[in-house]
Amino acid sequence: MTRREMMDAVDRYLQACRSNDAVAMAALFGENAEIEDPIGADPIVGKKAISSFFAIPRNIAKLRRIGPMTVFGKHVGVQFRAGIGDGHQLGVAGGKAFELSSTEIFTFDDDGLIARMVAIPDVDSVDESTDGRVFESGDA
């Protein structure tokens, strides 16, 4: 898998998040893939479990890339500004919608699918100046 192919897959993940397309998101993952979201949480293992995870609307954040992708071997790192609709997920913002920075690391398998994704949210970066506003899905 080339650098460009991995970066394109991460871009497709981002677009699927923006459009709340859980099916498109799950399609990017391999059969035995794992998601650790947030880091330290029990991993979500297997395509069926990942599909179920993304089928819950609160588990899809609105993501806006804020920096370049970093590629090393079969790994891609990217930093996002994430609009979270339910602060209870991370125990912040009093359960209201909020924005924070997050880094996600994607590892790809030999078939070009995501084998593992780890989300590293920066809960101290919650943007309280938005007064609960989560950016629009069309924001870039």
Quickly list DSSP for 33-60.
EEEESSTTSPPEESHHHHHHHHHSGGG-
- Based on its alpha-carbon atoms, the radius of gyration of the chain, rounded to whole angstroms, reads 14
The answer to whether 136 and 19 have CB atoms below 8 angstroms apart is: no
Which tens digits make up the pLDDT trace of 79-126? 988 776 654 455 454 556 677 888 999 999 999 999 999 999 887 777
Which tens digits make up the pLDDT trace of 8-50? 999 999 888 888 888 999 999 999 999 998 899 999 999 999 9
Of 95, 90, 67, nearest to 7 by C-alpha is: 67
What's the predicted TM-score (pTM) here? 0.81
Q: Residue 36: CB partners within 8 Å, gap ≥ 6?
A: 43, 44, 116, 117, 118, 119
